[in-house]
A and B are shown apart, each in its own frame.
Chain A
Amino acid sequence: DADVTQTPRNRITKTGKRIMLECSQTKGHDRMYWYRQDPGLGLRLIYYSFDVKDINKGEISDGYSVSRQAQAKFSLSLESAIPNQTALYFCATSESTGAGELFFGEGSRLTVL
């Protein structure tokens, strides 16, 4: 089983719909992240959480919200999806000490029509 699990893996939705992407991890890490990948733009940080009570906006948080339900769970919501939110979304975790390696889930591909 994957250490970082994302659901759903693929989702097609319509403009204006509410979408939630879920992430759970078994690595025991305090830090969790949501990134978005677009062609030619690399991975851009949407939100991050360094512990259960900590939520921070990243580079591109507009149009998104998050919830850290537990140490192991971090969900990303699109309250009213729009077509330019069509992208590949990645959840990641890391240890709480120092600059370190991120462990990524397999990604959730979202298409907004």
Chain B
Amino acid sequence: DQQVKQNSPSLSVQEGRISILNCDYTNSMFDYFLWYKKYPAEGPTFLISISSIKDKNEDGRFTVFLNKSAKHLSLHIVPSQPGDSAVYFCAPDGGTSYGKLTFGQGTILTVHP
């Protein structure tokens, strides 16, 4: 029973264009949502987060949108850069699993020059 799904295993975009990564969840108790980025041979690193009391959080080129009614969040990267090529994981937190994140399967983003 996967509580968190990233249905696109991979995404390929051109440099300068927008990248949109999606994440769906089933647990309505999740109230904090994080995105992590992972390069090969490195551990994941925190990218951006959003609380359930907000529907948007922006940090430079990265914006996360949350639609609680649809149990859906998305990460927008604009403009995309080749250095953004990595695996992106969404990781909700909250409810009975508070403090231990549940990770999606990840989306491999490739940004072509």
Contacts and interface: CB of A to CB of B under 8 A. Distances in A.
A4 B34 CA distance: 20
A104 B38 CA distance: 10
B89 A90 contact: no
A75 to B, nearest CB: 17
Contacts of A100: 93, 99
B9 A40 contact: yes
B31 interface: yes
Contacts of B4: 42
Chain B contact surface mostly: loop
A25 interface: no
Contacts of A105: 43
B34 A43 contact: no
Contact of A101 (B31, B42, B49): B49
Contact of B100 (A33, A41, A106): A33
Given A33-B100, A43-B89, A94-B99, A104 B105 contact: no
A22 to B, nearest CB: 15
A102 interface: yes
A12 interface: no
B34 A48 contact: no
Chain A contact surface mostly: strand
Residue picked from A99, A102, A105, most chain B C-beta under 10 Å: A99
Contacts of A101: 34, 46, 49
B93 A99 contact: yes
Nearest to B46: A101
Given A40-B105, A42-B105, A42-B106, A104 B43 contact: yes
A50 B99 contact: yes
Interface in A45-62: 45, 48, 50, 58
Nearest to B47: A101
B101 interface: yes
Given A43-B89, A58-B100, A99 B94 contact: yes
Interface in B1-26: 4, 6, 9
